[in-house]
């Protein structure tokens, strides 16, 4: 099974919680045991599993990446000013794979799935969720 999730972003760099949309995809699949791959279709965005309780963690992630990968100093910036966005997305990575256990996401209590925007804001971003059922 495969489903596309559409996301609108409001800032140049932000982490958007997409856990509920991914949970809904798993529930709609009726898969009890398997995996779901959550993949960001974009060269300047990524997917990250991170703490969901304290929003300061997401702010710290964005601030850390801004600090180690500053804007405006990369060769690619001469093309379209987003060289840092490509590097950030490449380091974080385009996808996460999560187990499906007894029909639910195998996340811990403190984990959520975040879409990482590094070149926004964007009217629409696409995340592809692919579910593979396994024999328990």
Please report the pLDDT score of residue 18 as a whole number.
98
pLDDT in tens, 67-92: 999 999 999 999 999 999 999 999 99
Residue 117, class by beta-carbon neighbours within 10 Å (0-12 exposed, 13-18 middle, 19+ buried)? buried
CA distance 55 to 61: 10
**Residue range(s) defining the domain that contains residue 111:** 1-44+94-136
Residue 136: pLDDT band (50, 70, 90) is low
Residue 19 included in any domain: yes
For residue 66, tell me if it sits in a domain.
no
Q: Find the CATH number of the domain harbouring 19.
A: 2.60.120.460
pTM given for the model: 0.95
Domain assignment present for 99: yes
- Residues of the chain with pLDDT > 70, as a percent, come to 99
Percent of the chain with pLDDT over 90: 96
């Amino acid at each position: 099974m495969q489903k596309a999730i559409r996301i609108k972003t409001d800032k140049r760099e932000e982490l958007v919680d997409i856990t509920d949309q991914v949970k809904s995809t798993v529930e709609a699949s009726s898969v009890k045991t398997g995996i779901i791959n959550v993949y960001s279709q974009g060269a300047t965005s990524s997917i990250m599993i991170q703490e969901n309780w304290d929003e300061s963690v997401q702010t710290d992630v964005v601030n850390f990446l801004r600090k180690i990968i500053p804007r405006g100093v990369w060769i690619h910036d001469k093309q379209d000013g987003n060289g840092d966005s490509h590097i950030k997305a490449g380091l974080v990575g385009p996808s996460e794979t999560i187990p499906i256990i007894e029909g639910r996401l195998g996340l811990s209590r403190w984990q959520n799935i975040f879409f990482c925007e590094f070149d926004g804001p964007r009217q629409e971003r696409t995340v592809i969720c692919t579910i593979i059922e396994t024999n328990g």
